[in-house]
Amino acid sequence: MEVFGFDFGTTNSLISQVIGGQTVVFDQGDEPYPSVVCYEGDSVICGSEAKKRLATHEIGVIGNVVRSPKMLLDREHVHVDGVPRRPRDMVADVVKHVVRATEEDRRYKLDRGIGRAVVTIPVDMDGRQRRELREAFHQAGLTIEQFVHEPMAALYGYLRTKEDPENEIRRLEGQYLLVFDWGGGTLDLTLCQVQKGMLVQIRNDGTHGLGGDVMDEAIRREVEKRAVEAAGLGSDEADINPDASLRLLTRAEEAKIKLSSREQEPIYIPAYFRNDVKDPDIDILLTRSELEEIIGQKIRQGVKRAKTLIESADLTTSDISLCLATGGIVNMPAVKSGLYEMFGATRVEISERGFSIISEGAAWIAHDRARLRLAKNIEVHVARNAYFPVIGAGYEMPTAGDVSEAERLTLYCTDPRDGVGKISLLSPIRHGRQVQPNDSRQPLASLNIKVEPSMQQLFERIMLDLEVDDDLILHASAKSAIKGDNDYRPIHELEFGLDIMQGITGHSMNEPQKQSRGAEKTAKKPKGRSSQSEQPVGSVLLRPNVARYEDISLVPGEALIRKEMTKPGGHFNRIEELSPIQREERAWYAACSYCGRRAGDPKCRCLSGR
């Protein structure tokens, strides 16, 4: 089935597809579909018709209208005109509307319906919201093939349409790129670096307080203030027609856009006031300089956020090789001049496809089957203050309906005296696989497992399993072998990269990153003194399971299965050949020959066959 690109945005939504090497944007007359839904009795009204019912451009619930339900996915229910509704259902209503309108548009003549899509998401959308968004799309009849962050989609769309995209990616290797996406709902900033053909996010920032809609409201208030003064009314005396107020907000948005290419724009709203005044109409000529005076502070704040983001990564603006500016606001002369002043005109790329580039990028990702990869190692903190990467950076993320093969690690409790084995999962601040022991780490989750306190050091084992699902959630579970206790933590805040070279050329510059279940067999013993008594109580150790020479005494007791070797030179492993520790390991860990359960398993009630 064909896979489309779906930009389900804060303010607007859009679907695109790559056909014949070119992107086709399924818009509605050069305009995207507003992400708005209205509930009137049993009727569900979406898109432009729902937007017409808004008297304000605030995000959230306004009466019976919900603007950008995507931003509410972290809630179980919200009340819309007194009726509790699930945000997931509201998102599904908007998605259904956009898909239905696209499929029914006679301009496009789609041979098949829209059933699968690469869906873009904000950089700050966590795993719970991703899971809710997937379910909402499922309710609307769509399968999310893969999530991708909106700035990544924009950059991919930009690079993919270059004359020689492969050469461009190689040219940008190791360099820093900034995506400056300023649209109607939000200002989103992402600092990226190209690492071995993979686009990796370094820093992210975003705010709803500087979106284009906030500017529209500021323009509306200023125009209304001037009109009230011209009519000789006090600020508390004006009786404003609600419908006229909505029309003024719409005209303010149009004026903001048109003043990007002209010096002045008239704003005329008939019968704005219901007061008995000489001229109830608004008839004002707004100039570009007046516009910039009204919203100039917000523009300066937005441009300054880009500099602050860069400095947070210990970089300067001179380290940025490319600033890709997208969204409708970046076409304003004041914004352009601010970016040019910061980076220089040669390093700023103002996208001509501001409202569609994210959707187009998602369509190219779907077409090229470019895959998300883990940007940072997932490590376990083991004894002697060492870190072992269980899942390495570059690990390929699963797509629709898939779950990564579980990575299993066997750990040993170094000191069980307090009866608890403590497992800490961390991720380095540094991206990529080349991480140093003294690099800073950030905690992801902690698992606490009850262990048998009477056991000797390094005897009880803890099995740690990690797997990632298609909602990009890491599931961590652990179980103690003798005590039989278990713990589980979902980890939602992972960071990703997009393998752009693999998508464009079909060949990744990264080495294969999928680890096998036997990855722990290559683990090296952490450096440090070997005194077990110095280990913290409850800490865990990754015991090495490789040796430089053949020595049967190094093999765990339960692994020495009584078996007649049939090949020449084979021998019989007799129980009496085992060391004391191997005998004890066999007694505790080898499966019962009668019931097949481990010795410490409470369900095992027989004592035979051990």
In a domain, 505, yes or no: yes
Phi, psi torsion values for 155, nearest 5 degrees: -65, -40
Residue that is last in its domain, among 343, 368, 393: 368
* pTM (two decimals): 0.80
Are 483 and 350 within one domain? no
DSSP state of 525: P
Residue that is last in its domain, among 534, 567, 602: 534
Are 157 and 14 within one domain? yes
In a domain, 34, yes or no: yes
In a domain, 294, yes or no: no
Residue 464's nearest CA partner among 565, 553, 542 is 542
- Residue listed under structure tokens 């051990």: 610
Q: What is the dihedral of CA 601, 604, 609, 610, to 10 degrees?
A: 30
Are 502 and 445 within one domain? yes
Residue 155 contacts residue 198 (beta carbons within 8 Å): no
By residue count, the chain amounts to 610
- Residue listed under structure tokens 């950030």: 442
Are 376 and 342 within one domain? no
How many domains does the chain contain in total? 3
If pLDDT is split at 50, 70 and 90, which confidence band does 584 have?
Answer: confident
Residue 558 contacts residue 586 (beta carbons within 8 Å): yes
pLDDT value for 55: 59
In a domain, 217, yes or no: no
In a domain, 328, yes or no: yes
Residue 392 sits in a domain of what CATH number?
Answer: 2.60.34.10
Q: What confidence tens digit (pLDDT) does each residue in 389-423 have? A: 999 988 999 998 888 888 888 888 888 888 988 89
Residue that is last in its domain, among 368, 388, 420: 368
Range of the domain at 19: 3-209+299-368
Are 364 and 377 within one domain? no
Q: What confidence tens digit (pLDDT) does each residue in 12-69 have? A: 899 999 998 899 999 988 889 999 999 988 899 999 888 887 755 566 677 788 888 8
In a domain, 115, yes or no: yes
Are 313 and 404 within one domain? no
Q: Please give the mean pLDDT across all residues of the chain.
A: 83
In a domain, 23, yes or no: yes
Are 398 and 497 within one domain? yes
Are 170 and 110 within one domain? yes
Residue 116 sits in a domain of what CATH number?
Answer: 3.30.420.40
Tell me the average pLDDT across 566-586: 62
Are 111 and 205 within one domain? yes
In a domain, 443, yes or no: yes
- Residue listed under structure tokens 């060391």: 579
Are 563 and 452 within one domain? no
Are 61 and 13 within one domain? yes
| Cβ-Cβ contacts under 8 Å for 574 (sequence gap 6 or more) | 562
- Residue listed under structure tokens 């601040």: 429
Are 72 and 161 within one domain? yes
Rank 253-257, 362-366, 570-574, 592-596 by mean pLDDT and report only the highest: 362-366
Residue 481's nearest CA partner among 596, 588, 609, 606 is 588
